[in-house]
């Protein structure tokens, strides 16, 4: 779990007390902070040069360079980067 849901009142509105209660939970609950820090560490590891996100992005760019817009092989596509 990485977030909290809000409960709407009988009119379908998320009230001020509901929002303040959730903020209080987030600020004062050590478990939420621990989970957030663990998630941050996982993300940082994935975006490193040798991380899985970086590798997948490079594979995607290489694939795009080999294909035209119709899935046909081409020698090179100029990417407007």
pLDDT in tens, 25-58: 888 889 888 988 999 999 898 888 888 888 888 8
Residues with Cβ within 8 Å of residue 65, at least 6 apart in sequence: 76, 77, 79
Asked if 81 and 75 touch (Cβ cutoff 8 Å), the reply is no
Backbone φ, ψ for residue 10 (5° rounding) = -65, -20
User: Does the pLDDT at position 75 exceed 60?
Assistant: no
DSSP 5: P
pTM of the model: 0.47
Of residues 67 and 18, the one with the higher pLDDT is: 18
Asked if 2 and 39 touch (Cβ cutoff 8 Å), the reply is yes
Q: What proportion of the chain, given as a percentage, has pLDDT over 70?
A: 80
């Amino acid at each position: 779990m990485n977030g909290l849901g809000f409960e709407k009142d009988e009119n379908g509105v998320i009230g001020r007390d509901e929002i303040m209660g959730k903020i209080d939970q987030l600020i004062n609950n050590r478990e939420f902070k621990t989970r957030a820090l663990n998630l941050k560490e996982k993300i940082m590891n994935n975006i490193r040069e040798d991380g899985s996100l970086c590798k997948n992005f490079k594979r995607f760019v290489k694939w795009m360079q080999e294909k035209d817009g119709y899935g046909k092989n081409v020698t090179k596509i100029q990417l407007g980067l």
